């Protein structure tokens, strides 16, 4: 069995800073940003729900039960934390009449914020991004240095790592992916199979990004570069035109690394060699993703936070606000501030994306 690690380098020098996050549910607020204009009628009912103390899949089951639907009919764009306050969109098909959800929303942990109608089911990844409000408590470290680091992050961004939670507690998702690839036996639950393959793909990407950080080229192009856009899985080959250099300087495009899968890579020369080297370190994962039919795609190496704002409630309590594209991780921001740990609340391992 492969020995997995998440000891990847940071982009900026380590700060002598420690802090805790998610001490209380209210310390971690996530609101989905929708890019759809809802209507007054339509075949699918969209509900914006604020929840606490419940994860996305559990609430989806509750909605299915109350609306007398199959669970697969309930749509949502992404997984959100149980131990947080989250504002998330769900969709339900309207078969005859709108379901009566009064009993569900009479519970304190669920609040209906808005509703509307749309023509199709809400699918995974179909959102404009997520807005975060995170409170860091018991902050220990020089406040001026923290402010300077936050200014740097706002101007230059951070490496676009997948969060450690993607890999499961004690790397369980990666271990299951390796088992799937070695035996060819998929779990009956298709969602679990997808989660395992996604973990393997994310792990290879993080190692490629880590190598670029070590070589000081995570936010600058190298020979054979493939540029991408925030939140996009596509890329285009480096052309070295003046227009391209302007777009890079203005941070409208970003360097990228491969999301591994079958098919020829867009990367060439130096970047291709770097990606292949990291994939070859984990041959079971790389070959398994290809055999399972995952298509090779791209992911930007840089995550920008131009709307990052912060304020101090007191000398040891810091509030951060920022927006992220879908599939980007808040923990990738926190790791550039210092040793920021999750408060000990017997919290299960869940998604922070």
Residue among 79, 77, 92, 85 nearest 33 (CA): 77
pLDDT of 353 > 90? The answer is: no
Mean pLDDT of the chain: 92
pLDDT score of 1: 61
CATH number for the domain harbouring residue 58? 3.30.2350.20
Residue with tokens 């927006």: 323
pLDDT interval class at 352 (50, 70, 90): very low
Determine whether 81 is an active site residue: yes
> What total number of domains does the chain contain?
1
What letter does residue 68 receive in the DSSP assignment? T
Distance CA 304, CA 255 (A): 12
81, 100, 142, 219: which one is catalytic? 81
Residue 121 falls within a domain, yes or no? yes
Res 346: pLDDT: 53
**Residue 2 above 80 pLDDT?**
no
Residue 59 covered by a domain:
yes
| Domain, as residue range, for 41 | 36-126
State residue 347's pLDDT score.
47
Residue 72 lies in a domain: yes
Maximal C-alpha separation, the chain: 61
Inside any domain, residue 148 = no
Please indicate, yes or no, if residue 163 is contained in any of the structural domains: no
- Interior/surface letters 321-332, b for 16+ CB within 10 angstroms, e for the rest: ebbbbbbbbbbb
Looking at residue 126, what is its pLDDT? 82
Assess whether pLDDT exceeds 80 at residue 306.
yes
pTM over 0.95: no
The pLDDT of residue 351 is 44
Please report whether residue 41 resides in a domain.
Answer: yes
- Find the distance separating the first CA and the last CA of the chain, reported in whole Å: 28
What share of the chain in percent tops pLDDT 90? Answer: 76
In a domain, 212, yes or no: no
Structural domain includes residue 134 = no
Give backbone dihedrals phi and psi of 260, rounded to 5 degrees, phi first. Answer: -65, 145
Q: How confident is the model at residue 345 (pLDDT cuts 50, 70, 90)?
A: low
């Amino acid at each position: 069995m492969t020995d997995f690690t998440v000891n990847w380098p940071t982009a900026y020098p380590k700060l002598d800073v420690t802090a805790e996050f998610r001490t209380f549910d209210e310390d971690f607020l996530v609101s989905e940003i929708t890019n759809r204009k809802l209507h007054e009628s339509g075949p699918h009912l969209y509900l914006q729900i604020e929840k606490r103390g419940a994860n996305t899949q559990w609430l989806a089951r509750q909605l299915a039960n109350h609306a007398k639907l199959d669970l697969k009919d309930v749509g949502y764009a992404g997984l959100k934390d149980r131990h947080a306050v989250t504002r998330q969109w769900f969709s339900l098909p309207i078969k005859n009449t709108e379901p009566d959800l009064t009993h569900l929303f009479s519970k304190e942990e669920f609040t209906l914020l808005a509703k509307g109608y749309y023509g199709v089911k809400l699918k995974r990844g179909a959102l404009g991004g997520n807005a975060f409000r995170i409170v860091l408590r018991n902050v220990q470290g020089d406040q001026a240095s923290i402010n300077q680091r936050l200014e740097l992050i706002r101007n230059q961004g951070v490496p676009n790592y997948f969060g450690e939670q993607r890999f499961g507690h004690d790397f369980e998702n990666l271990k299951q992916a390796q088992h799937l690839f070695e035996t060819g036996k998929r779990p009956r639950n298709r969602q679990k199979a997808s989660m395992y393959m996604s973990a393997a793909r994310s792990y290879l990407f993080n190692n490629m990004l880590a190598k670029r950080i070590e070589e000081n080229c995570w936010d600058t192009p190298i020979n054979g570069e493939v540029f991408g856009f925030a939140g996009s899985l596509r890329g285009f080959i480096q052309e070295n035109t003046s227009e391209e250099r302007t777009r890079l300087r203005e941070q409208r495009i970003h360097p990228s690394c491969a999301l591994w899968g079958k098919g020829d890579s867009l990367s060439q020369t130096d970047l291709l060699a770097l990606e292949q080297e990291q994939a070859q370190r984990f041959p079971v994962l790389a070959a398994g993703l290809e055999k399972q039919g995952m298509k090779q795609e791209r992911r930007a190496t840089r995550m920008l936070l131009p709307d990052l704002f912060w304020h101090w409630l007191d000398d040891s309590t810091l509030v951060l606000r920022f927006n992220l594209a879908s599939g980007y991780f808040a923990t990738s921001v926190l790791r550039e501030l210092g040793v920021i740990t999750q408060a000990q609340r017997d919290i299960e391992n869940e998604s922070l994306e």
